[in-house]
């Protein structure tokens, strides 16, 4: 920066400035946590768990096979950026919450109800499959211009030794 000062100093000062007059404080607070996911076209209606990250850096899966989970360290659905919701495709007992995720097509609607009573609505733009060893981290978690949603489950062949699927199914959606 100027006169040998580190550039970070000005960034920190800018962040500490009070909210300007005329800007409601509501806009400055993050969106409320999501509590329920509804996808009418594939009969999904699930309460949402909060998901964290496992020791190996991967997104933790929901504990309940019948429930989807929201990556709580990322944006909430309706906030700018990619909100990520994951769910199992099946369990030893049969189909799980995201069993039919692969049936989604561009234009299908997804709704996420939030704790504040608001509903964030999304429209599917595409469905992709990726090997777990080559997960498209930037495409899923990278910045987006507006609110977006990613739904993730397992797909492809099952590796019996590792006891996991070899691929992920990713549904991309934008605010509707």
- Nearest residue to 110 (alpha-carbon basis) of 8, 36, 16, 11: 36
- CA 151, CA 173: separation in Å to the nearest integer? 8
What digits encode the pLDDT tens for the residues 118-166?
999 999 999 999 999 899 999 999 999 999 999 999 999 999 898 889 9
8-state DSSP, 167: E
- CA 32, CA 10: separation in Å to the nearest integer? 30
Cα–Cα distances in angstroms (integers) from residue 34 to residues 137, 147, 155, in the given order: 22, 14, 25
| Residue 78 reports pLDDT greater than 90 | yes
């Amino acid at each position: 920066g100027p006169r040998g000062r580190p550039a970070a100093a000005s960034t920190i000062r800018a962040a500490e400035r009070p909210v300007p007059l005329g800007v409601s404080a509501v806009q400055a607070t993050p969106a409320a946590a999501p509590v329920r996911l509804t996808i009418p076209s594939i009969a999904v209606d699930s309460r949402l768990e909060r998901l964290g990250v496992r020791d190996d850096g991967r997104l933790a899966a929901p504990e309940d096979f019948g429930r989807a989970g929201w990556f709580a360290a990322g944006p909430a659905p309706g906030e700018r950026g990619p909100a990520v919701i994951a769910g199992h495709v099946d369990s030893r007992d049969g189909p799980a919450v995201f069993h039919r995720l692969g049936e989604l097509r561009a234009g299908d609607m997804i709704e996420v109800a939030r704790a504040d009573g608001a509903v964030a609505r999304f429209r599917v733009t595409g469905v992709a499959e990726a090997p777990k060893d080559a997960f498209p981290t930037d495409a899923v978690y990278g910045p987006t211009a507006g609110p977006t949603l990613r739904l993730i489950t397992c797909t492809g062949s099952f590796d019996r030794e590792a006891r996991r699927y070899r691929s992920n199914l990713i549904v991309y959606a934008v605010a509707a």
